[in-house]
Amino acid sequence: MNITILFFGMLAEETRTSVLELNTASLKLRDLENEVLNLFPVLKKLTYGIAVNEIIVQSNVKLSPGSKVAFLPPFAGG
């Protein structure tokens, strides 16, 4: 299925990527995350959180076709 991967801030800079359409066999978030880490090993040394469809998730949620998975660096608002 197709998943949209998004990178922001420092992560977009380090991966030189802001959006990536990924055709993946991963059905769950952790598998997809590992796939992304293999594509962009630089992420392994960076701090990030993940939002699926604009909601921060900690658990290994199930993905659906068209899910948007965003890798977010530490927040700096305010």
Partner 1 sequence: MKKSLYAGAISPQKIADSIAHHQVKTNIGAHDIFLGQVRADEIAEKKVVAIDYSCYEEMAEKVFHEIREAAFEKFDLTCLHIYHSIGIVKAGELCLFVFTSSRHRKMAMDACRFIVEEIKLKAPVFGKEVFEDMTHQWKVNS
| Interacting residues toward partner 1 by CB under 8 A | 6, 8-10, 13, 51, 54-55, 70, 72-78
Shortest CA distance to 48 belongs to which of 4, 1, 6, 2?
6
The two tokens of residue 29 are 């978030």
**In contact, 50 and 57? CB cutoff 8 Å:** yes
Q: Give dist(CA 68, CA 15) in Å, integer.
A: 17
Residue 57: strand pairing partners: 50
User: Closest separation between CB of residue 29 and partner 1, Å?
Assistant: 16
Our CB check for partner 1 shows the closer of 14 and 31 to be 14
The residue assigned the tokens 């990527």 is 17
Minimum Å gap between C-beta 69 and partner 1 is 12
Q: Which is nearer to partner 1, 41 or 77 (CB)?
A: 77
Nearest distance from residue 20's CB to partner 1, in Å?
A: 15
For partner 1, the closer CB: 8 or 39: 8
